[in-house]
Structure 1
Amino acid sequence: MRTVGVVVNPIAGMGGRVGLKGTDGKVEAARERGAEPRAPDRARAALESLREHAPDAAVLAYGGEMGAEEARDAGFDPEVVGEPAGAETTAADTKAAVRAFADRGVDVILFVGGDGTATDVADALAEADADVPVLGVPAGVKVYSSVFAVRPDVAGRVAAEFEETETREVNDIDEDAYRDGEVRTRLQGVVTVPVAGDDVQSAKQVHSGSTAALAAAVAEEIRDSEGVTYVLGPGSTVGDVADALGVDASPLGVDVYRDGELLVRDGGEAEILAALGDENVVLVSPIGGQGFVFGRGNQQLSPAVIERSEVRVLASPRKLDETGVLRVDTGDEALDESLRGWRRVRTGRFEERMMKVV
């Protein structure tokens, strides 16, 4: 019988849809903008998958919304190993949960959050001098570390079925610098993770080749598209398109452009939806190495935005060579399924490549 420790960071990812690019130190700001928790739902999805693949698994969880509630919702009767110290959960609570799981000798720790939560897990294991396999359920805004399953349901299955482990890196970024358009990654630790092939995501790769000709061609077409609203996703590839258009777009945010005017700069979901017109196009580029088109660092491009728009994917040939396949994780399984399959990705002024979205 497999023993699984479950800890949830209930505020993880709240800042994404409202355009805050992270939740560290920004919980109240996220709530003021109307953000809602997403980690509990993703925890339930992972645990429902765990129960499907290992119905006899023994689940240990931290109290309340840090794991116990979600485990019960998924049909488990968890052993509660501790309770949050206060009304607002903290990194100290996450670390206490991890230490309790390590003391009890669980087979794997399933944590729900983003890179900050992964850092807390790695720190707690290092402090306890414990080598327990861990697996992340992606729920944060930024998920750069190579310790996360590609989707919540996959995390549950991998936790139930894995047989071997390997070491992987935990990385985090400076959120204040990220909000200013700069990515500063930092190695935070090394942990043991289940061996699961492509079911566990790779670390983000930053350098992905020249896109100058691609950007110039796309910008030219945008100028000729009267009345069409373009939603410009984050990242350097789409950023090159904005530069070619001559607009001051946000480097890592989402912008809206129509007929020579930047209607929204660094907007959240509500602002983007309000700016959409009758004909809308979302321009996105996959994350290098990981392949995510939606669901990592661009949660502002919500299902509501995507469903009202045509999706066009841009990338350099080198980025596609490094990536292999494309992925989506919008939080809406029906939408994800509609986006899967073969898709044309524009790679140059005239060139395209067929890529599979999985």
Structure 2
Amino acid sequence: MKIGLIINPVAGIGGSVGLKGSDGEETQKLALERGGKFLSNSKAKTALKEVVDLKDKIEFFTGAGKMGEDVLKELGFNYKVIGEKKEHTTFQDTEDIARELKKENVDLILFAGGDGTARNIFNAVEVSIPCIGIPAGVKIHSAVYANNPKDAGLVIREYVQDKNSIVTAHSEVMDIDEEKFRQNVLQAKLYGYLDVPRVEKLMQSSKSSSSSSVEEIEGIAEELEKIMNNKDDDMVYVVGTGGTVNSVMRDIGYDVSLLGVDIIYKGEIVLKEATENQIYDFIKDKKATLIVTVIGGQGHVFGRGNQQLSPRIIRHIGKDNIIIIATHAKLYSIADGVIKADTSDPELDEELKGYWKILINYNHTIVFKLD
């Protein structure tokens, strides 16, 4: 089987440092200055490890260097390089390689990135070739990505072993305006569709917006405030991203950011839109409680838009000190009925598995499985 591989080397670099995206050279430069890390190659490697034993059945066509060649060489795959190696890559490189893959008549395109990368692939090939996305970006609203890198590898495996039994479907390519996103305005737009293998429980759905009643928000806020008042005065509260968390915390009386991670200590917001390093430095010698919500439609608690909440932060806080809040509509919009974690640390994802109580109203919780 001929598989095209494209890795966006800078995908996700802005996530842990609170930049809400990685598009644009200036953003990437700022992300590096703040301590952002390149993760997309390691995530692609995680996916490809799932098919190393099938290497004799696959011929890869890929970008030079960090756009795919480096990972394939390390894992011992057969591959042909398309294009020249570059120190700095842009969206144009992704689109150019994708067009060349179309000319090579590959059976499948595998790409690592976020919503911007999915748009680039769509611009180049539209629905002419089946595609699988390895989630590596900050914004991953599109329904063309697997739940996590390992699941992407499992989808590739099924496709290589029995292509004819896999159903593909036109799946949404969504993206948002990053400039407005950084101004706390969330505007998502449908850009088109990619043909994607829809393997049950491995591929994510698109993010869905969900309504919430005033009664629900007030009920969650009242219950959460009661919990906060019963904890130690020295407790640090790490407040995650999202509209539900924002509405609840504002009802309690905290002017938290909509799309950043904030820290509340001794009744005051002491850090707003904090980076991963700032969060860890503040809580590392203190007890902390984390307040997060669920992504509607997809079900992710970690790994979608809140990459500031790194594995070391989650481990320091501890599973018992994580409070998940959500509305009825958001929970019942989750396509497969389970919540998910994609922390970039498979061992931590495994530790987080199990049943979680989710606060949905005053004195009212519901149990969901994280898997």
| Distance in 2, Cα, partners of 1:255 & 1:219 | 17
TM superposition shift of 1:181:
1.3
Which secondary structure does the structure 2 equivalent of 1:281 belong to?
strand
Which secondary structure does the structure 2 equivalent of 1:199 belong to?
coil
Aligned counterpart, 1:139: 136
| Distance in 1, Cα, partners of 2:56 & 2:245 | 44
Are 1:299 and 2:307 an aligned pair? yes
TM superposition shift of 1:51:
2.1
Aligned counterpart, 1:91: 91
Query: Letter of the aligned partner of 1:258 in structure 2?
Result: Y
Aligned counterpart, 1:218: 224
**208 and 49 in structure 1: CA distance in 2 versus 1, 3 angstrom threshold:** farther
| Distance in 2, Cα, partners of 1:287 & 1:135 | 21
Deviates more, 1:45-54 or 1:167-176: 45-54
1:266 alignment partner, one of 263, 269, 273:
273
Deviates more, 1:292-301 or 1:163-172: 163-172
Which secondary structure does the structure 1 equivalent of 2:189 belong to?
strand
Query: Letter of the aligned partner of 1:299 in structure 2?
Result: Q
Aligned counterpart, 2:329: 318
Name the % identity. 37
**208 and 327 in structure 1: CA distance in 2 versus 1, 3 angstrom threshold:** farther
| Distance in 1, Cα, partners of 2:368 & 2:280 | 28
Alignment length (residue pairs): 353
Query: Counterparts in 2 of 1:82-161, with a 5 A limit?
Result: 82-84=83-85, 86-126=86-126, 131-161=128-158
Deviates more, 1:239-248 or 1:40-49: 239-248
| Distance in 1, Cα, partners of 2:219 & 2:54 | 48
Aligned counterpart, 1:74: 75
Task: Assess if the C-alpha contact under 8 Å between 2:55 and 2:78 holds in 1.
Answer: no
Are 1:346 and 2:359 an aligned pair? yes
Are 1:168 and 2:171 an aligned pair? yes
- C-alpha deviations, 1:144-202, integer Å up to 9, x for none? 00000111111122123132211011010001111111110011111111121231111
Aligned counterpart, 1:196: 199
| Distance in 2, Cα, partners of 1:342 & 1:244 | 28
1:187 alignment partner, one of 187, 190, 200:
190
Task: Assess if the C-alpha contact under 8 Å between 2:292 and 2:301 holds in 1.
Answer: yes
- C-alpha deviations, 1:9-30, integer Å up to 9, x for none? 0000000001111011200000
TM-score by length of 2: 0.92
Query: Letter of the aligned partner of 2:167 in structure 1?
Result: E
Deviates more, 1:27-36 or 1:152-161: 152-161
| Distance in 1, Cα, partners of 2:138 & 2:129 | 25
Cα RMSD (Å): 1.4
TM-score by length of 1: 0.95
Task: Assess if the C-alpha contact under 8 Å between 1:232 and 1:282 holds in 2.
Answer: yes
Query: Letter of the aligned partner of 1:113 in structure 2?
Result: G
Task: Assess if the C-alpha contact under 8 Å between 2:236 and 2:288 holds in 1.
Answer: yes
| Distance in 1, Cα, partners of 2:6 & 2:267 | 48
Task: Assess if the C-alpha contact under 8 Å between 2:243 and 2:258 holds in 1.
Answer: yes
Task: Assess if the C-alpha contact under 8 Å between 1:53 and 1:157 holds in 2.
Answer: no
Are 1:12 and 2:23 an aligned pair? no
| Distance in 2, Cα, partners of 1:52 & 1:175 | 40
Deviates more, 1:246-255 or 1:293-302: 246-255
**240 and 79 in structure 1: CA distance in 2 versus 1, 3 angstrom threshold:** same
TM superposition shift of 1:224:
4.1
Task: Assess if the C-alpha contact under 8 Å between 2:180 and 2:187 holds in 1.
Answer: yes
Deviates more, 1:277-286 or 1:15-24: 277-286
- C-alpha deviations, 1:214-236, integer Å up to 9, x for none? 12221233244311111000011
**3 and 257 in structure 1: CA distance in 2 versus 1, 3 angstrom threshold:** same
| Distance in 2, Cα, partners of 1:180 & 1:216 | 29
| Distance in 1, Cα, partners of 2:74 & 2:363 | 51
Unaligned runs of 5+ residues in structure 2 are 160-165
**189 and 137 in structure 1: CA distance in 2 versus 1, 3 angstrom threshold:** same
| Distance in 2, Cα, partners of 1:280 & 1:172 | 33
Deviates more, 1:24-33 or 1:130-139: 130-139
| Distance in 1, Cα, partners of 2:69 & 2:357 | 43
Q: Which runs of 4+ in 1 moved over 3 A?
A: 52-55
TM superposition shift of 1:63:
0.6
Query: Letter of the aligned partner of 2:189 in structure 1?
Result: R
| Distance in 1, Cα, partners of 2:179 & 2:51 | 36
